[in-house]
Amino acid sequence: MTTTALDREAEADLQFAPQLRMTQTHADVTRDVISTLGTPSRGYYMLLFGAVGLFLVGLVTFAILLKDGLGHAGYTPPILWSVFITTFVFWVGIGHAGTLISAILFLFRSPWRTAVYRATEAMTVFAVMTAGLFPIIHIGRQWIFYWLLPYPNQRYLWPNFKSPLIWDVFAISTYLTVSTLFLIFGLIPDVAAVRDKVSGWRRFIYGQLSLGWQGTDTQWRHYSRAYLYMAALATPLVLSVHSVVSWDFASSIIPGWHGTIFAPYFVAGAIYSGIGMVLTLLIPLRKALHLEHMITDYHFDNLSKLTLLTGSILFYAYAMEYFVAWYSGNTFEQVTFFRRAFGPMWWAGWTMIICNAFVSQLLWFRRIRVNLTALFVISIFINIGMWFERYVIIVSSLANDYVPWAWDGMNPTWADWGILAGSFGWFGMYFLLFARTFPIVAIQEIKEMIPMPRRRAGGGHH
Amino acid sequence: MALPFPKRKSVPGVLASFEHIDSATDAIRGLRAKGHRDLTVYTSHPNHEVEAAVGHTNSPVRLFTLIGGLTGCTAGFAMTIWMSRDWPLLVGGKGIAAIPPYVVIAFELTILLGAFFTLGSVGLLSLLKAGRRIAYDPRFSDDRIGVFVAARGSDVATVEQMLRDAGAVEVSHAS
């Protein structure tokens, strides 16, 4: 029996991480994952109603903003980017962990991604779907948002491609499209596996969604290659998207925004916040869907290490921002950073530093990395900290620009909070619906980790 | 459940189901050695041993990815440069058609069209055989390995025997 280079690599993966060696058979995996699609519990419906309720709060708030205009929100000159843009950057950031785990770790052949990547990828798609709404809410005249797109029009005008805001339109819409396609593409074989196990109208629907997938050698031949290239395309994309978002700020001259460190700083922050949200979702989900034997301590340990790495990069970036402000000799830059820590918004500044830079350092300890209660609490801190990071960067920088008499604070209003709450409802609603409709663990990739049964002992590897 | 293609012709042949990967690859190699080239192997996940036994070459998907990426990159630069020159406005002291900021747009379109072409090519390449209806068993997406051999007439009995000898747990005749 000849073994190919890929076989040897797959075997090396398992030697590197023996924790991944599964005791289940292929049939066990299909059964266990498909059992998560059974009749939902009461707790699930309560969460779903909660999410829909929050979404309705957002919807009503949006309707009022649509009718009366943005005056209800807390915009106070010179702070004309505030909670909506903060929340936009927050959700785009959340949307980075999924593609990191599904594409970058795929290329790096990190086998622990297998059990968790579907959930994080779904989270990514829904987070970017949420994020995309915010610039549209923020522009005020939502009905002409399509002016951002290049299309032939009677005004003979084209978008200004030199503006980072137009780059952002392209980056976010490309990211949403590619990550959605990547998610759907990965789902096709799994949907086919569900189709072959269920009956009645479910079989019909999953059958249509499986696009005729049968798992033939020809199908796998093209599929595996295409998956590899999709991962290779998504890898630079995920790193570019938050870089482009950071240039929305960095290419202006506002003190506190005008920094060359912004792109890597934002990408690290995005991955950090994304994994924070992954932990928040995965810890309860694993328990609710009884996936303890597939998503193990080993996975949480690895996710925590990734959190620690990106959290430490953030720590460095925060320190570097203060250093650069001091070293620049620019008074406005210095004042902005002084007021971040000791000005009227000191509480937001310290929330960001404590939740991100310091709390992440707890993950140096293995006992914390595998303690799911501690991890869940830390993940909540990360979510809060990362929302405040964007709030601090956006609002406190605008609050202290080059005209000191205009310096002002701002207070978010009910409209800001209503839209923010709505975004969590909108995101939660999609995630909950997805978790009960599609396999939340990638059946086909888990099966790849399990050696196929052999009639003869030995002789070749998986 | 398959896509509703109109005239899908059933291919007559033999469908075997295996529990063991080495039995399945033995059967595939044996059949290929006897000149049976019209084989379809079903697995629940991509398997390198099956791939090696069937003797596939590299998938042409990569060519489509390359074409898509290059198309996107060209389209990105062409669109931004042409639109800037169509209505020349000086912005930020840059040239009318400034290359560095347009790299971002060209990059995003490279990725976007690269992804479209990659997935489109999978669809297209899968359509090539979509006109044939080949026997299938729902257990192939679970834990069985399926081997379908197109055969008719006197071949059927020989093929059936070969599959059984290799260790097939079930063999059925599909017409």
Query: Per-residue pLDDT tens for A157-170?
Result: 899 999 999 999 99
Q: Do A243 and A270 meet the contact criterion of CB atoms below 8 Å apart? A: no
The per-residue pLDDT for A259 is 87
Mean pLDDT for the stretch of residues A24-28: 81
Nearest-angstrom CA–CA distance, A393 and A389: 6
Mean pLDDT for the stretch of residues A68-91: 91
Q: Which of A90-94, A384-388, A451-455 has the lowest average pLDDT?
A: A451-455
The per-residue pLDDT for A7 is 56
Q: What integer best gives the mean pLDDT of chain A?
A: 88
Q: What residues does B16 pair with on adjacent strands? A: B147, B171
Contact criterion met (CB < 8 Å) for B108 and A171: yes
Contact criterion met (CB < 8 Å) for B21 and A225: no
**Which of A178, A221, A227 should be substituted to probe chain B, the one whose Cβ sees the most B Cβ atoms within 10 Å?**
A221
User: Residues 82-121, chain B: which have Cβ within 8 Å of A?
Assistant: 83-84, 86-87, 89, 91-92, 94, 98, 101-102, 104-105, 107-109, 111-112, 114-115, 118-119, 121
Nearest-angstrom CA–CA distance, A186 and A196: 17
The per-residue pLDDT for A387 is 94
- With CA atoms as reference, the chain B residue closest to A155 would be B87
Residue from A403, A389, A179, A144 nearest A266 by CA: A389
Contact criterion met (CB < 8 Å) for A220 and B47: yes
Q: Quick check: B27 contacting A, CB < 8 Å?
A: no
The per-residue pLDDT for B1 is 44
The per-residue pLDDT for A112 is 82
**Which of A201, A218, A229 should be substituted to probe chain B, the one whose Cβ sees the most B Cβ atoms within 10 Å?**
A229
Contact criterion met (CB < 8 Å) for A162 and B92: yes
Residue A292 sits at the vertex; the CA angle it makes with A183 and A11, to the nearest 5 degrees, is 70
Nearest-angstrom CA–CA distance, B1 and B11: 17
Shortest alpha-carbon distance between residue B146 and chain A (Å): 9
A356: left (phi over 0), alpha (psi -120 to 50) or beta: alpha
Classify residue A458 by burial, with Cβ atoms within 10 Å: 0-12, 13-18, 19+: exposed
Select the more confidently predicted residue: B82 or A212: B82
Residue-wise pLDDT tens digits, A88-118: 999 999 998 888 888 888 888 888 888 888 9
Confidence of residue A247 (pLDDT cuts 50, 70, 90): very high
**Which of A157, A251, A455, A461 should be substituted to probe chain B, the one whose Cβ sees the most B Cβ atoms within 10 Å?**
A455
- With CA atoms as reference, the chain B residue closest to A244 would be B104
Low-confidence ranges of chain B (pLDDT < 50): 1-2
The per-residue pLDDT for A462 is 43
Residues of A in contact with B102 (CB under 8 A): 161
The per-residue pLDDT for A1 is 41
Contact criterion met (CB < 8 Å) for B40 and A218: yes
Contact criterion met (CB < 8 Å) for B142 and A196: yes
The per-residue pLDDT for B116 is 96
Contact criterion met (CB < 8 Å) for B44 and A215: yes
A26 closest CB neighbour out of B46, B142, B167: B142
CATH 3.30.70.260 domain residues, chain B? 9-44+142-174
B9-44+142-174 homologous superfamily: ACT domain (3.30.70.260)
Say yes or no to pLDDT of A8 above 70: no
Structure tokens at A293: 């034997």
Shortest alpha-carbon distance between residue A59 and chain B (Å): 31
The per-residue pLDDT for A458 is 57
pTM of structure: 0.91
Residues of A in contact with B81 (CB under 8 A): none
The per-residue pLDDT for A176 is 95
Say yes or no to pLDDT of A2 above 50: no
A229 closest CB neighbour out of B22, B61, B105: B61
